[in-house]
Amino acid sequence: MNVVIVGGVAAGTKTAAKLKREDRSINVTLITKDRDISYAGCGLPYYVGGLIETEEELVVNTPQKFAALTGADVITGMEATGLDAQAKVLTAKNLDTGAEEEFSYDKLVIATGASAAVPPIPGIHIPGVFKMRTPEDAVTARDYAQKHNVKQAVVIGAGFIGLEVAENLQKQGLSVTVLEFADQVMPGVFDFEMADFIYRHLEKKGIRVYLSTKAEEILGGGSVTGVKSSAGEFSCGIVIAAAGVRPNTAFLNGTGMEMVKGTIVVNGQMETNLPDVYAAGDCAMVKNRLTGAPQWSPMGSSANLEGRTLAQILSGKDHGEPKAYPGVLGTSVVKLPDLNCGRTGLTEAQARELGYNAVCAVAVTDDKAHYYPDAAFFATKLIAEQETHKLLGVQVLGPGAVDKMIDIAVTGLNMDARLEDFENADYAYAPPFSTAIHPFVQAVYVLQNKLNGALKSFTPAEYMRGAAEGYRVIDASGVPAIPGVKFVDLTKVNGEVEGLNKDDKLLLVCARGKRAYFLQNRLRHFGYTNTKVLEGSTSFNVLKTDGEAEVSPEDVTRVKGLGFLRDKTTKNKFNCRVITRNGKISAEESQAIAEAAKIYGSGEITMTTRLTMEIQGVPYENIEPLREFLSRAGLETGGTGSKVRPVVSCKGTTCQYGNIDTFALSDEIHRRFYQGYREVKLPHKFKIAVGGCPNNCVKPDLNDLGIVGANVPQIDLEKCRGCKVCRVENVCPMKAAAVTDGKIVLSESCNNCGRCVKRCPFGAFDSAKTGYRVYIGGRWGKKIARGQMLGKVFTNEEELLSVVEKAILLFREQGITGERFSDTVARLGFETVEEQLLSDELLQRKAENISAQKHLKGGATC
């Protein structure tokens, strides 16, 4: 028998290899348009991200190796152009010569796969725009991004490939924006509320996703510069078009082949409507295993399974059982930044459209023993038929092994399992792998409780649609966690609950839903019959409360210590202080702050007088997620309380008068004393300013401690000529230089500004030593105090830093709770303080001082 196979990626090569193993006497000829065969199309995004380092790793088999391994003839660079099914002749064009060739067959297998759908928009062929379907696509895209040092990318399409590429581009350091025409990510794959969780997660991870957005034009001339869309223009240096795939079947038009939207319709034996012509893989329309309805499922996994089954059918060796392909479940899994997403079977929407009386539940569980390192969560949605309890579909989200949850579901779906079939399933358990009751079984229990009435709940989808309207939210957490909401301690409910009427409509909410269910069970016993549990609770849902919930004074004080000051015009919104280390941040940090403001705050950013950036309008519940987001960018919040405050500095050596590198010095002060003393409580706030010269742009003498860069001239009097018109004398802004008795003299009014250095034509002022002036006891506000300058000019940075530390230690040791450092200096006397700062006794008492329980409240109110 002579079998010709068109297509050499997944289904084609699998058919060829299995067919030759089944019957070596069959002549198998595999022709393919590409130069490569059996390449890992699903691995292309990971090549772009650098996880797969070389192009060779993407190619499973070369044509030569495959031919030698299987015995099939492999012809590359041959594109199918026509089919005469009556004559059993396939026509193909040699891409090297352009010549037409004919291939006669006894059996023909069409496995031409699918190609990336290219959006028909202007500019789509500008250099810098790539699709993602072949190894060449991935190689050229990665090379282009590296060669052009691309910093921004736009991905068109939020399906599997689009989101995988987005993650991998971000890993390469690019800022990524995804445009999706549908109103959710991965449309048709996940139900809306699951997709919404994924969308929110991507936003938190810094991948911007614009839904219901149409890409209208690619901008640029010689290379791409941006994308114009219905949501505005987005600058970028590379575009990935990942707007789905289309079957490669155009050459079959006019042949009489039955097709639906370009996909070849096949039966259970993979036969087309044409005699002795079969199809498999991404070009074939198979059926849904559950419903029997036609389904197109272009996945590498199903393509391989179809190819293997087809080979057994063609060989006639059914090994005692007639072979047929049973259909697909649409099983898929995708890796996103810190979140894996899997699904199989029917979505809730699909089940309802097909007439099932579907019931579902979302359960958030541990993915392994909660005490085991790296334990995380699974958010599992189960869909079942209400009457029969037959499992219909599963969707799982989580940072860990969601694939094992999906694989359990696939096995159950293949066997028409009911929920009860999983109830006592003896799945593998050990703390590193699972919980004692498997997470899948826990999810089954939740749905069973719902079916038998033990659990009354709202699904996240119902909650998003407003089903909880009119319900009073009750915080069922272990400790109060939802601001402005009545907290009910489950462990103390032994009868009627004060403040709750038995007829009230109560929505019970905790972190995941489990504790809320326990509270519902207890409340029902005591006559509260109108309660609902919010499935997934706060870990899955965006909780809506009536109006603005008032944050307790205790919480206002607590988060103030984290750098969040309440906006007094609101009840539950805060302004977040992001420490910028003297006002200097990188472009990446600036971008992270902007993204954080967009995701967690009002989208507005302000700058304080202390050169700290503030993200405005952060709701109370967003405080911890915001801090986590910023920490991943190396940023921290704070700058409040009775502690050392963030350092402020001028431009330093970038200013024409700057004597010192203020950024480098203030960075070191920040590291040693803001970060190093972050847990040390002081009587009040302690502010430090660093100025590069005596111009005092940042007012060092109005801070608790101020440092001014000095340039101490090293005078060589032997070179002084005692000129009648002295250039040094003329240039001195302080009038501290004067020629006396034929030699230049500097008075005590010299502030070491350095203007005189190199002004003497005879070299008397050619050199200077970098130094530092220190002011102590300044303050600004309701009371103003100008700091006094220590008598010594410090010319050693370590000695200077030692004085800074001694000033902090003195304030802690000898200051009175609630007073500012200026008050301490005035009370003790400047000379006494100066004497202590110039000795080492404070450092000798450091350990005792730091460990003392002092100033636990402090005097700072902001």
Q: Are residues 327 and 285 in contact, defined by beta-carbon separation less than 8 angstroms? A: no
Q: Are residues 413 and 423 in contact, defined by beta-carbon separation less than 8 angstroms? A: no
SS (H, E, C) 438-476: CHHHHHHHHHHHHHCCCCCEECHHHHHCCCCCCCEEEEC
Q: Are residues 837 and 707 in contact, defined by beta-carbon separation less than 8 angstroms? A: no
Which one of the listed residues 42, 655, 697, 723 is annotated catalytic?
A: 42
SS (H, E, C) 69-84: HHCCEEECCEEEEEEE
**774 alpha-carbon distance from chain centroid:** 44
Backbone angles phi, psi at 641, to 5 degrees: 90, 175
Strand arrangement of the beta sheet that strand 232-235 belongs to: 215-220, 224-229, 232-235
CB-side neighbour CA atoms (13 Å) of 795: 8
Cα separation, 859 vs 862, whole angstroms: 9
Number of residues that this document lists for the chain? 862
Q: Are residues 728 and 710 in contact, defined by beta-carbon separation less than 8 angstroms? A: no
Q: Are residues 131 and 144 in contact, defined by beta-carbon separation less than 8 angstroms? A: no
Using DSSP's 3-state secondary structure scheme, residue 688 falls into strand
Helix (H) or strand (E) holding 592, with range, is helix 587-600
Cα separation, 603 vs 617, whole angstroms: 8
Torsion of Cα atoms, 615 then 620 then 625 then 626, to 10°: 10
- Angle (deg, nearest 10), helices 300-315 and 11-22: 30
Q: Are residues 351 and 393 in contact, defined by beta-carbon separation less than 8 angstroms? A: yes
Cα separation, 363 vs 437, whole angstroms: 14
Strand partners, 5: 30, 109
Pairing of strands 238-241, 152-156: parallel
Instruction: Pull the structure tokens for residue 122.
Output: 């202007």
Strand partners, 606: 614
Please state, in angstroms and as integers, the Cα–Cα distance from residue 56 to each residue in 116, 135, 138, 212, 290, following that order.
22, 9, 12, 38, 39
Q: Which amino acid is at 577?
A: R
Backbone angles phi, psi at 776, to 5 degrees: -130, 150
Please state, in angstroms and as integers, the Cα–Cα distance from residue 250 to each residue in 80, 262, 571, following that order.
10, 7, 62
Torsion of Cα atoms, 258 then 260 then 266 then 268, to 10°: -140
Residue 693 catalytic?
no
Cα separation, 242 vs 798, whole angstroms: 57
Using DSSP's 3-state secondary structure scheme, residue 540 falls into helix
- Angle (deg, nearest 10), helices 821-828 and 797-814: 80
Instruction: Pull the structure tokens for residue 609.
Output: 């007088």
Q: Which amino acid is at 685?
A: K
Please state, in angstroms and as integers, the Cα–Cα distance from residue 596 to each residue in 207, 212, 540, following that order.
11, 22, 20
Q: Which amino acid is at 230?
A: S
Instruction: Pull the structure tokens for residue 596.
Output: 């954080």
Cα separation, 454 vs 402, whole angstroms: 27
Cα separation, 731 vs 754, whole angstroms: 10
Helix (H) or strand (E) holding 259, with range, is strand 259-260
> Looking up tokens 């691995």, which residue turns up?
43
Q: Are residues 406 and 342 in contact, defined by beta-carbon separation less than 8 angstroms? A: yes
Q: Which residues are catalytic?
A: 42
